[in-house]
C-alpha cells in the first residue's frame, strides 16, 4: 500500500522494518519515554518526528490525514498515560510553530516502521485537535523556513524537553 506520496530514501537493499524505538533512533530521535513515546525531536535539526499507525490514516481525494492529538472525553479512564499525552501535545504545538514535521508509518501487528520511508507532514490545529496532513491534503507549498524568533522558541522548547 502506498501512502500518498511517501518520500523514500533510495537504498540498495530491501526495506527492513524496525521497531518503533529503533526507527526513531535511525531518524536521530532520542525518545523521552522509549517504551511508550510516539513522537520526538530530531537532535540534528530540531524537526518533530511522529509515529503514525497505519490503521489511523485516512485516505481521501485531497490526500491523507491522521489525527495526532485530541482532548480526552470527560469519561476517560484516569489511568490514561498523562505524560505521554502531554509530550505528544507539546510536539504537536512545536510542529505547528515550525510549519511541519516528519512522519514514520507503523505497520502490522508489531507496529514496525521502515526508517527509509519518511512522510513530510503539515501539522494543523483544527479546533482542539491536531492533525497531520500530507499528499494533496497538505498542499504543494513547502514548509517555510523558521523565522529567527520561531527558531529561538524551538531551541528553548528542545532544551526544556
Domain ranges of the chain: 7-160
Band (9; pLDDT cuts 50, 70, 90):
very low
In whole angstroms, give the CA distance from residue 32 to residue 161: 8
Cα–Cα distance for residue pair 2/4, rounded to 1 Å? 6
pLDDT band at 77 (very low <50, low <70, confident <90, very high): low
Q: Is the pLDDT of residue 149 over 60?
A: no
Using 50, 70 and 90 to split pLDDT, how confident is the model at 140? very low
The 10s digit of each residue's pLDDT in 14-72 is 468 899 999 999 999 999 999 999 999 999 999 999 999 999 999 888 889 999 999 98
- State yes or no: pLDDT of 141 exceeds 50: no
State residue 110's pLDDT score.
86
Spatial CA neighbour of 93 closest among 154, 143, 36: 154
**Among candidates 40, 149, 61, 53, which has minimal Cα distance to 110?**
53
pLDDT digits 0-9 by tens, 81-109: 889 999 999 999 999 999 899 999 999 88
3-state secondary structure of 98: helix
Indicate the average pLDDT of the chain.
79
Say whether pLDDT at 7 is over 60. Answer: no
- Give SS3 for 88: helix
Rounded to an integer, what distance in angstroms lies between the CA atom of residue 53 and that of residue 107?
Answer: 7
d(C-alpha 158, C-alpha 153), whole Å: 9
Amino acid at each position: 500500500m502506498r501512502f500518498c506520496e511517501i518520500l523514500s530514501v533510495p537504498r540498495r537493499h530491501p526495506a527492513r522494518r524496525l521497531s518503533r524505538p529503533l526507527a526513531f533512533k535511525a531518524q536521530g530521535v532520542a525518545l523521552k519515554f522509549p517504551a511508550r513515546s510516539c513522537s520526538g525531536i530530531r537532535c540534528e535539526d530540531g524537526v518533530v518526528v511522529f509515529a503514525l499507525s497505519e490503521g489511523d490514516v485516512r485516505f481521501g481525494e485531497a490526500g491523507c490525514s491522521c489525527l495526532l492529538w485530541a482532548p480526552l472525553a470527560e469519561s476517560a479512564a484516569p489511568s490514561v498515560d498523562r505524560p505521554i499525552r502531554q509530550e505528544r501535545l507539546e510536539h504537536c504545538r512545536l510542529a505547528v510553530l515550525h510549519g511541519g514535521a516528519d512522519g514514520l508509518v507503523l505497520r502490522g501487528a508489531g507496529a514496525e516502521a521502515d526508517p527509509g520511508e519518511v512522510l513530510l507532514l503539515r501539522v494543523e490545529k483544527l479546533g482542539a485537535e491536531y492533525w497531520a496532513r500530507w499528499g494533496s491534503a497538505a498542499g504543494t507549498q513547502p514548509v517555510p523556513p523558521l523565522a529567527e524568533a520561531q527558531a529561538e522558541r524551538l531551541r528553548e522548547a528542545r532544551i526544556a524537553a
